[in-house]
Amino acid sequence: MTIYWERCSICGNYNLVKQCTIYQDVIVCPHCCLSCVKRRECSKPVWFPEIKLFAKREAIPGKRREAEKVFMELLGMLGEEEKS
Ligand SMILES: [Zn+2]
């Protein structure tokens, strides 16, 4: 599985992206993949709620903890949206 740092086909932001499993011409960032409406039907989602890739980018320990907390909160919100 190749990971790119490119423009997401869904939101248009430059981010870490992977090729979507359902749509072969779509590259998707973690945020869009996790909030995708097709995620429940998707046999093999390319992104999972994990923070390792993001943690590496943070150089300042204090800021890193803060960033992880915010990110986990965001993931929690996405998870709730998925259920509704
Ligand atoms: Zn995106």
Q: 29 and 46 in contact (C-beta within 8 Å)? A: no
pLDDT in tens, 23-73: 999 999 999 999 999 988 998 899 988 655 555 555 666 777 888 888 888
Residue written as token pair 């097709």: 38
Same domain, 58 and 74: yes
CA 5 to chain centroid: 12
Same domain, 43 and 55: no
* CA 35 to ligand 1 center in whole angstroms: 9
Same domain, 11 and 31: yes
Same domain, 1 and 41: yes
Same domain, 22 and 33: yes
* CA 15 to ligand 1 center in whole angstroms: 7
What's the confidence (pLDDT) of residue 26? Answer: 94
Contacts of residue 9, defined as CB under 8 A and 6 or more positions apart, other chains included, come to: 17, 20, 25, 26, 27, 28
* CA 63 to ligand 1 center in whole angstroms: 23
* CA 62 to ligand 1 center in whole angstroms: 27
The pTM is what? 0.53
What's the confidence (pLDDT) of residue 84? Answer: 59
Same domain, 31 and 63: no
Range of the domain at 42: 1-47
* CA 66 to ligand 1 center in whole angstroms: 22
Same domain, 56 and 19: no
Same domain, 38 and 55: no
